[in-house]
């Protein structure tokens, strides 16, 4: 299936050389099989037991899954994840792309701007959570500031509104990751062959067409990488919600990751928590496996 660099030489040394890569790869592979897939299997098993505070091995069949889908908060969490993931991924991609295209215009001060766009990715929400909470809080944050500046009718109270709070969380999430996406697109843009663009321009293509027809299609790998990274960040989002709203107002901003933690560790219903983890993993697989399959098969050409 792949080209092997040594097909002719068959002496002992070469045979050893052929085995060496596998031997060297084996520890990593073993670690991942055990610590990732083994633990996933363990979680799958727990989801069929009546585990509460600690794992137990008493089989209860599908009961945890039945309960899980009767719990309103799980519904909310799933809905929120859909809203959050779609908005987060698309807004980050759009902003990241815009910033990258703008920065690619031989901008003076790129060296200053780039780290400014990029730095939020370096910070965890344990660090920035309080600042964000204040910023979004109408009483002390942006709304209050505009009022002090004399714009009395300005209103921004999403974080306090149970229908809008999830969107406030999207803002903070976009703030954190869009600069990173910018970096990926910028790298993609810088990697495009100039000759190709010159040729198109000589053919009289407008700027808009240049981007639409030539540049964007070339960024496909960057789009895909961005999608993978943003997708996994969206599904794992936990710190963000805990820092900004703690899941509130009410349960309005629960996400599957917060739900799972809360049921497994706070509420001592590890069985249900594990069932929710399994559903999360299935969701991730449903999105990632086709993508990985397509990507990896394409690579082989």
Partner 1 sequence: MRSILSVKAAAVLATCISTSTASAQDVEVLHWWTSGGEAAALSVLREDLSESGYGWVDMPVAGGGGSDAMTVLRARVTAGNPPTAVQMLGFAIQDWAKEGALSNLNDLANEQNWSTVVPSALQAFSTYSANWVAAPVNVHSTNWVWANSKIMAELGIEQPTSWESFIAAMQAAKDAGYTALAHGGQAWQEATVFDSVAMGVGGPAFYKAAFIDLDSDALGGAQMVEAFERMETLRGFVDENFSGRDWNLATAMVINGEALFQIMGDWAKGEFVNAGQTAGEEFKCFRVPGSDGTVTFNSDQFAMFKVEGSAAEAQLAMASAVMSPEFQVAFNIVKGSVPARTDISDEEFDACGKLGMAQLAQAAASGNLFGSMAHGHANTPSIQNAMYDVITAHFNGEYDAATAAAELVTAVELAK
Partner 2 sequence: MTVAAQENIVRTSQSVRVGIYLALIVFALFYLLPFGIMVINSVKPLIEITEGNMIALPREWTIDPWLSAWSTAQIGVEPTGLRPYFVNSIVMALPAVAISTALGAINGYILTKWQFRGATLIFGLLLFSCFIPFQIVLIPMARVLGVLNIAGTTYGLILVHVVYGLGFSTLFFRNFYAAFPNELVRAAQIDGAGFFRIFWRIMLPSSGPILAVCCIWQFTNIWNDFLFGASFASGSAAPMTVSLNNLVNSSTGVREYNVHFAGAILAAGPTLLVYIIAGRYFVRGLMAGSVKG
CB of 71 to partner 2, least distance (A): 17
Q: Are 143 and 154 in contact (CB under 8 A)?
A: yes
**240-264 burial code (b ≥16 CB/10 A, e <16):** bbbbbbebeeebbbbbbbbbbbbbb
Residue 265 in contact with partner 1, rule: CB under 8 A:
yes
Residue 236 in contact with partner 1, rule: CB under 8 A:
no
- The one segment of 99-107, 133-141, 206-214, 286-294 that binds partner 1 by CB under 8 A: 133-141
CB of 138 to partner 1, least distance (A): 6
Residue 251 in contact with partner 1, rule: CB under 8 A:
yes
Name which of 112 and 163 has its Cβ closer to partner 2.
112
Site for partner 1 (CB under 8 A): which residue of 75, 104, 110, 137? 137
Q: How far is CA 157 from the centre of its chain?
A: 26
Q: Are 289 and 272 in contact (CB under 8 A)?
A: no
Q: Are 68 and 272 in contact (CB under 8 A)?
A: yes
Q: How far is residue 224's CA from residue 296's CA, in Å, rounded to a whole number?
A: 12
- Which partner, partner 1, partner 2, none, binds residue 70 by CB below 5 to 8 Å per kind? partner 1
Site for partner 1 (CB under 8 A): which residue of 252, 284, 287, 288? 252
SS3 category, 49: strand
CB of 63 to partner 1, least distance (A): 11
Task: Tell me whether residue 122 is exposed, middle or buried, using C-beta atoms within 10 angstroms of its C-beta: 0 to 12, 13 to 18, 19 or more.
Answer: exposed
SS3 category, 20: helix
Q: How far is residue 20's CA from residue 26's CA, in Å, rounded to a whole number?
A: 10
Site for partner 1 (CB under 8 A): which residue of 2, 70, 105, 152? 70
Name which of 246 and 250 has its Cβ closer to partner 2.
246
CB of 148 to partner 2, least distance (A): 7
CB of 154 to partner 2, least distance (A): 14
7: number of CA atoms within 13 Å, CB side?
4
Q: How far is residue 243's CA from residue 129's CA, in Å, rounded to a whole number?
A: 5
Scanning 12-71, the segments in alpha helix (DSSP H) are: 12-32, 39-46, 63-68
- Which partner, partner 2, partner 1, none, binds residue 251 by CB below 5 to 8 Å per kind? partner 1
Residue 138 in contact with partner 1, rule: CB under 8 A:
yes
Residue 50 in contact with partner 1, rule: CB under 8 A:
no
Report 86-105 residues binding partner 1 (CB under 8 A).
Answer: none
Query: Which spans of this chain sit near partner 1 (rule: CB under 8 A)?
Result: 24, 52-54, 67, 70-73, 133, 137-139, 157, 159-160, 162, 242, 245-252, 262, 265-269
């Amino acid at each position: 299936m792949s080209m092997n660099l040594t097909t002719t030489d068959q002496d002992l040394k070469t045979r050893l050389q052929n085995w060496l890569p596998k031997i060297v790869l084996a520890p990593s592979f073993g670690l991942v099989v055990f610590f990732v897939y083994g633990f996933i299997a363990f979680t799958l098993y727990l989801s069929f037991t009546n585990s509460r505070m600690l794992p137990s091995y008493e089989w209860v069949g599908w009961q945890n899954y039945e309960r899980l889908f009767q719990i309103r908060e799980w519904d909310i969490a799933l809905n929120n994840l859909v809203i959050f993931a779609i908005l987060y991924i698309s807004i980050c991609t759009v902003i990241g792309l815009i910033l990258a295209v703008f920065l690619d215009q031989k901008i003076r001060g790129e060296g200053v701007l780039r780290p400014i766009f990029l730095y939020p990715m370096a910070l965890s929400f344990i660090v920035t959570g309080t600042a964000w909470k204040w910023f979004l809080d109408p009483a002390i944050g942006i709304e209050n500031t505009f009022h002090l500046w004399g714009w009395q009718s300005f209103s921004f109270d999403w974080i306090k509104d149970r229908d809008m709070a999830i969107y406030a969380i999207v803002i903070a999430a976009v703030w954190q990751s869009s600069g990173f996406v910018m970096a990926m697109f910028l790298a993609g843009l810088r990697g495009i062959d100039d000759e190709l663009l010159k040729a198109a321009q000589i053919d009289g293509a407008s700027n808009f067409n240049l981007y639409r027809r030539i540049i964007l299609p070339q960024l496909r790998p960057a789009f895909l990488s961005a999608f993978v990274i943003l997708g996994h960040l969206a599904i794992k989002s936990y710190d963000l919600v805990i820092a900004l709203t703690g899941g509130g107002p009410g349960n309005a901003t629960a996400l599957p990751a917060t739900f799972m933690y809360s049921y497994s560790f706070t509420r001592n219903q590890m069985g249900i928590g594990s069932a929710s983890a399994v559903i999360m993993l299935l969701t991730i697989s449903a999105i990632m496996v086709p993508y990985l399959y397509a990507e990896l098969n394409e690579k082989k050409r």
